[in-house]
Structure 1
Amino acid sequence: MKLLKQVEVESTKFIFYIALFTILPSFATDTYAPALPHIAHFFGVTPSNVISTFATYFIGYAIGILSWGPISDTFGRKKILIYGMLMYILSTIICSLSIKFYQLLAGRIFQGFGDSACTTVAFAMVRDCYEGKKLTKTLATLMMLFLIAPIIAPFIGILIIKATDEWQNIFHFLTLFGIVLLIFSFKMPETLKIDHSSKMTISFKKYLIHMYNFEFILIVIASGFAFGAFFVFVGASAVVYLKTFKVTQIEYGLLFALNVIAGLLAGFLLRKYCHLISGYTITTFTTVSAIICTIMGFFVLYFCPNNILFFVVFMWLTTFFIMLCLPVLSSIALNSVKDHFGVATSILSAIRFVFAAITLLFISSISYKTMEYSLFLIQSILIFFILVISFIIMVKIRGAWMYKIKSD
């Protein structure tokens, strides 16, 4: 069939399809965030409880990240991409048909698990096909789209809610998006060469090698704290803005986009100046700055509740410093390993999403009436642990501040 004609790896279509697969997680989380109050009303739970649906998604996503890589190394990329998309579509349909809250929670776990196959296999396909400057350029393009997607996704959810006033239609949209990607997955070439495939047991054993790397594990945990500090805001933002501050959905989308812009600005500054400053110096500066912002945000909002201006300013600054810190922690972690970088990246990503899930489960138990300043308190505690871990590594392992980030 011409519709399912295989695309060439050097074509623009190939990169376009890969980009769509990589942004699926942003759409699966950020598109339905504006509907959290509607979901809470439908199931008869508090808006805070609905945040746990983000946590269950991340649990499934973290398990998938650790699983799909070794499986695709054995059975090939294309098959796993198709199976992952089928699981994503079926679980998204389950979410849209849920009549009990636990059904939505379960559906989100499997949605995250299937979704993780898309990103894991998509990046593996890029590594299979490109190297050198071509690989760097392609990854840079994908990262740019990955950062832009969280700006677009909430507005799509807002438009659907405004047009239909039914949260289920957001999952109908995600289902249709998944069907389109399933068609594209049939058009993708198999990029894993037969002689490069490996036994699944060997692939899984590679995880154990990194688990004995004390420095790597410590930095991965620190990165998890940073990721949790960021995503505790992402998950709670809709509840805080829509329920606590009573902003409109359009205003929520714009305010959420501000924090994404903070991440883009942090990435730009880091790419330009990271070679001038040591990794641990950046980590120390950003964590101390973020802790100061969170403590100030907590006390200001505790004594001046419902002040949206203070919340936006301090949360923007906190997000900015966290997003400066995250890539540095990733660089330090990957520079501490000598081989099996793909497995190391999977561990790093999985631990991050586990921490995100734990923090979101915790914040979901807090009343939305106090959530605006509780967020800052939780973030300050998480970021403090990053500072402690960095200090332990500098003193006990490195014994020096001047650990330089390797630049391309």
Structure 2
Amino acid sequence: MPDSTPPRATFDVARGHNVRILAILSMLMAFASISTDLYLPALPAMSLALHASAGMMEYTISGYLVGFSLGQLLWGPIADRYGRRAPVAIGLVLFVIGSAGCAISQTPAAMIGWRIVQAIGACASVVLARAMVRDLYTGHRAAQMMSTLMTVMAVAPLIGPSVGGMILHFASWRAIFWTLVGVGLATLLALAALPETLPLARRNHEPLARALGNYGRLLRIRRVLGYAGAGGFFYGALYAYIAGTPFAYITYHHLSPQWYGVLFAAGIVGIMLTNLLNARFVALFGSDRLMRSGTVGAAIAGLLLAFDARTDWGGLMGLFLPLFLFVSATGFIVANSIAGALGCAPERAGAVSALIGAIQYGTGIAGSALVGVLADGTPWPMGCVIALMGLASAASALTLVKGESLETPPLRRAS
């Protein structure tokens, strides 16, 4: 098996510039959420300006998720072959172009198209930031760093809609996308301070076509499949939560939009707290054990949620409490599943990161879509989808990820 230990020089880079690297990687990871959270308050204004229905404007979110999910599969092998910094820079340029295109769009179709371009660029930052963590850190330290990044990243959806609303108060909705252009350009400048984390000697020089074909080989590694399932099914439940709670809280339980924002923010705070706890305890208990415990806890919370949603037991609090417990489990599941998968095939960190990200966002699309398809006027479809996804996440973690050692067969490298 190829040596999975990063070279001494890489460790020196990580130790000498922890704060700077953490700041830049946090900026890169935040692109997953700021691209959407910032313009959510502007959707009604955009609908009026572009003469589009509310449903048509929701396709700007769906199109973004599709581009974000599939785009990762392309960036992973490219980064394993050419290094991390150049693909991230290209992705940021695409993000800037896509954001500018959104700002000048005159039709819903143009907006959706530019959102897809924006997503393909943004996903390069996210998928390669995860790969950079694996380049610089191993084992429990990688899980700690991933948890720290997730904690910082959670701030974006917490403040994003508020910042977007503030911009909308002083300018038009187009100014939000011009703001994203500025964020992309600022991140591109900051990238100059980030060292290349994948040395030439550790790059994969096989043809990209063969590298893309290795996704199937990665999925035949039992542990990769387990980590992908644990994180992927959990993401499906999270997106069911995002799609279902506005209706469940506001329409069904007659909660004001302001109080809905408070309850949603409480979930974000729960995610931040568990990520901090995970970073503290991962060296003591091990990342796999914390992940398995998180998935079991999430599954139990999901079952309680489904019962409450079906019977209306506990009313609003009967929904909120299990939902809060469920989303708070994010801190023990997402970071550890990503770090674990990356440790299975370190010589393919870019491809593994891309595969895990694509699966997560793919199941996210499925989870949110199922809530819509099964809608019956009650919170039950949301509770049902979250419970089933939670059980599948726990089953993946318990049956496919066993022990703390990473003994996986190496993928074939080009001669």
TM more than 0.5: yes
Residue 308 of structure 1: how far off its partner (Å) = 4.8
Residue 287 of structure 1: how far off its partner (Å) = 4.4
Residue 114 of structure 1: how far off its partner (Å) = 0.3
In structure 2, stretches of 5+ residues that fail to align are: 1-12, 407-415
- Taking the aligned partners of 2:248 and 2:116, their CA distance within structure 1 comes to 24
Task: Indicate if the aligned counterparts of 1:287 and 1:325 stay in contact, CA closer than 8 A.
Answer: no
Output the aligned Cα RMSD: 4.0
Task: Choose which of 122, 127, 147 in structure 1 pairs with 2:129.
Answer: 122
Task: Indicate if the aligned counterparts of 1:290 and 1:321 stay in contact, CA closer than 8 A.
Answer: no
Task: Choose which of 67, 80, 84 in structure 1 pairs with 2:74.
Answer: 67
> Residues 46-68 of structure 1, C-alpha deviation per residue, up to 9 Å, x if partnerless?
65664443332222222232221
- Taking the aligned partners of 1:16 and 1:70, their CA distance within structure 2 comes to 25
Q: One-letter code of the match for 2:32?
A: P
Q: One-letter code of the match for 1:228?
A: G
- Taking the aligned partners of 2:308 and 2:55, their CA distance within structure 1 comes to 20
Residue of structure 2 equivalent to 1:221? 229
Residue 196 of structure 1: how far off its partner (Å) = 3.4
Residue of structure 1 equivalent to 2:10? none
Q: One-letter code of the match for 1:172?
A: W
Residue 385 of structure 1: how far off its partner (Å) = 3.3
Residue 328 of structure 1: how far off its partner (Å) = 5.7
Task: Choose which of 189, 214, 218 in structure 2 pairs with 1:210.
Answer: 218
Task: Indicate if the aligned counterparts of 1:69 and 1:120 stay in contact, CA closer than 8 A.
Answer: yes
- Taking the aligned partners of 1:86 and 1:181, their CA distance within structure 2 comes to 10
Whether 1:78 aligns to 2:85 is yes
Whether 1:92 aligns to 2:102 is no
Whether 1:360 aligns to 2:368 is yes
Q: How does 1:388-403 map to 2 (within 5 A)?
A: 389=396, 393=399, 403=402
CA change 1:323–1:216 in 2 (3 A) is same
- Taking the aligned partners of 1:311 and 1:41, their CA distance within structure 2 comes to 34
CA change 1:287–1:205 in 2 (3 A) is same
Q: How does 1:269-284 map to 2 (within 5 A)?
A: 269-270=277-278, 272=281, 275=285, 278=289, 282=293
CA change 1:319–1:358 in 2 (3 A) is same
Whether 1:53 aligns to 2:63 is no
CA change 1:404–1:42 in 2 (3 A) is farther
- Taking the aligned partners of 1:180 and 1:227, their CA distance within structure 2 comes to 29
> Residues 343-395 of structure 1, C-alpha deviation per residue, up to 9 Å, x if partnerless?
3333222211111122234445677x93744322322232243355567x3xx
Residue of structure 1 equivalent to 2:178? 172
> Residues 174-203 of structure 1, C-alpha deviation per residue, up to 9 Å, x if partnerless?
222112223333554444433333325264
> Residues 282-320 of structure 1, C-alpha deviation per residue, up to 9 Å, x if partnerless?
26632441232221332255x99xx65544334213323
Q: One-letter code of the match for 1:89?
A: V
Size of the aligned set, in residue pairs, is 386
- Taking the aligned partners of 1:13 and 1:325, their CA distance within structure 2 comes to 26
Whether 1:299 aligns to 2:310 is yes
- Taking the aligned partners of 2:155 and 2:368, their CA distance within structure 1 comes to 23
CA change 1:117–1:331 in 2 (3 A) is closer
Q: One-letter code of the match for 1:272?
A: F
Task: Indicate if the aligned counterparts of 1:279 and 1:332 stay in contact, CA closer than 8 A.
Answer: no
Residue of structure 2 equivalent to 1:23? 30
Task: Choose which of 345, 356, 360 in structure 2 pairs with 1:348.
Answer: 356
Counterpart of 2:42 in 1: which secondary structure? helix
Task: Indicate if the aligned counterparts of 1:98 and 1:104 stay in contact, CA closer than 8 A.
Answer: yes
CA change 1:251–1:279 in 2 (3 A) is closer
- Taking the aligned partners of 2:341 and 2:136, their CA distance within structure 1 comes to 25
> Residues 21-67 of structure 1, C-alpha deviation per residue, up to 9 Å, x if partnerless?
22122211322233344445555666566444333222222223222
Residue of structure 2 equivalent to 1:159? 166
In structure 1, stretches of 5+ residues that fail to align are: 1-7
Q: One-letter code of the match for 2:285?
A: H
- Taking the aligned partners of 1:267 and 1:137, their CA distance within structure 2 comes to 9
Counterpart of 1:99 in 2: which secondary structure? coil
Residue 16 of structure 1: how far off its partner (Å) = 2.7
- Taking the aligned partners of 1:319 and 1:341, their CA distance within structure 2 comes to 30
Q: One-letter code of the match for 1:211?
A: L
Task: Indicate if the aligned counterparts of 1:49 and 1:364 stay in contact, CA closer than 8 A.
Answer: no
CA change 1:282–1:157 in 2 (3 A) is same
- Taking the aligned partners of 1:315 and 1:132, their CA distance within structure 2 comes to 30
Task: Choose which of 235, 239, 246 in structure 2 pairs with 1:231.
Answer: 239
